[in-house]
Amino acid sequence: MMKKTKFLLLILLFTAIPMGLFAYTDGQIVTFDKLTYKVASVAKKELYFLGADNSKAGELVIPKEIFDSVDFTFTVTGVEYHPLYRSDNITSVQLPETITYLGRNIFRGANLETINIPKNVATIEENAWASVTGVPKCVVEADNANYTSDSEGVLYSKDMTTLYSVPSKVTLNNGVYTVNDKVTKIIKTGFRLVSGLTKVVFPKNLKEISVGYPTIAPTTTITEFAIAGGGTTPFKVIGGVLFKDKELMIYPQAKPEENYKVPDDITAIASYAFYRPLKLKTIDLNGVTKLELSAIYEAAELTTITLPKNIKKYDKATEEGMFEGCFESCMKVAEYKVPTENKDFVAQDGIIFSNDIREFGIRKSF
């Protein structure tokens, strides 16, 4: 009798559980109305938007809830990147108030003009707009506790001390964009694909910029940087190039000079500091003692690199020296010049070797 009772109770339990709970798993890809989502959480009944079918064009309105036509209602709470899904024909986005998270590389392929940022958005990742073909004007709801925007659609932290993104169609002053003087930090892709941008004037109290791929300013028309006067900042500009203390941070992609020598007092080159420079043909690294990973990246016209006389192999303990892979995808480099004073490296036939002729791994075809 006891076994029969337990069996009946088990039947009742399974009858009470909606069949939809057995139909989905966390991370599952699902499509509703030609929009693709990831099941972020079955338990919470949450979806993240991934991409739109090519038949969807113009404005994309993401619903706050989705009923699967059986017995399961999802809430859309985020937007995320997936390599298999794009939003190529989308030009503007209307997000629901249920959205709390915007991830990296979202709306891949979309030429966005505008997007709203609802009040509940708590996280916008760096590189959120790194995969769109047009960076949108952001309109942040006034009661959002974490973010704000100005009349041009520039996206900031709520207190405006962190700059997240400048829209592609922002208004410029003869090609110049001057950053709001409240800003103290700028994140990666802050100035990406800004149409007609030739010069960025950084704020007088700038304290920090994100370093890595891509840079804060991956725009192919920028020829120079500047910093507003009258503040306190560890940054400086020499010849249109941005430095922090003794480290070269960003070399403008469209800087017109073909030959460049690092200033005498500069001892370090940051990762991706030379990010796809368009005109650069020769570089003299001068007094540099530290070259980070991908310090020079995809310099398409670069043919000659002169190493510093005091550069050494990378030392993990001191974090000084030449990191293997510091010159990445510079396909035209045919010559490395090593000063005779340098005791650690030698160049032979377009290849850099350590002085005991063990290959260091930097080739002219690298």
Tens digits of per-residue pLDDT, 148-171?
Answer: 999 999 999 999 999 999 999 999
Residue 358 — pLDDT band, cuts 50, 70, 90?
low
Evaluate whether residue 330 is within a structural domain: no
Tokens standing for 286?
């001068």
Evaluate whether residue 365 is within a structural domain: no
Q: Which distant-in-sequence residues (6+ apart) come within 8 Å of 320 by Cβ? A: 289, 290, 312, 314
Evaluate whether residue 352 is within a structural domain: no
Residue 17 has pLDDT above 60, yes or no: no
- Tell me the pairing of strands 46-52 and 114-117: unpaired
Please compute the mean of the pLDDT values over residues 221-231 and round it to a whole number: 97
pLDDT given for residue 347 in this prediction: 87
Evaluate whether residue 169 is within a structural domain: no
Residue 247 has pLDDT above 60, yes or no: yes
pLDDT given for residue 364 in this prediction: 36
pLDDT given for residue 350 in this prediction: 79
Tens digits of per-residue pLDDT, 35-89?
Answer: 999 999 999 999 999 999 999 999 999 999 999 999 899 999 999 999 999 999 9
pLDDT given for residue 365 in this prediction: 31
CB 274 within 8 A of CB 294: no
Evaluate whether residue 265 is within a structural domain: no
The closest alpha carbon to 219, from 199, 191, 244, 241, belongs to 191
Residue 4 — pLDDT band, cuts 50, 70, 90?
low
Domain carrying residue 95? 17-134
Evaluate whether residue 68 is within a structural domain: yes
Residue 361 has pLDDT above 70, yes or no: no
CB 310 within 8 A of CB 322: no
Residue 356 has pLDDT above 90, yes or no: no
Q: What is the CATH number of the domain that holds 56?
A: 3.80.10.10
Evaluate whether residue 317 is within a structural domain: no
- Tell me the pairing of strands 199-202 and 224-227: parallel
Residue 346 — pLDDT band, cuts 50, 70, 90?
confident
Residue 6 — pLDDT band, cuts 50, 70, 90?
low
pLDDT given for residue 20 in this prediction: 47
Residue 18 has pLDDT above 50, yes or no: no
Distance CA 218, CA 129 (A): 12
Evaluate whether residue 203 is within a structural domain: no
The closest alpha carbon to 47, from 60, 29, 70, 71, belongs to 29
Tokens standing for 27?
């991370």
Residue 12 has pLDDT above 50, yes or no: no
Decide which of 341 and 202 is more confident.
Answer: 202
pLDDT given for residue 355 in this prediction: 77
Total domains in the chain come to 1
pLDDT given for residue 359 in this prediction: 52
Residue 328 has pLDDT above 90, yes or no: yes
Q: What does pLDDT average to over the chain?
A: 92
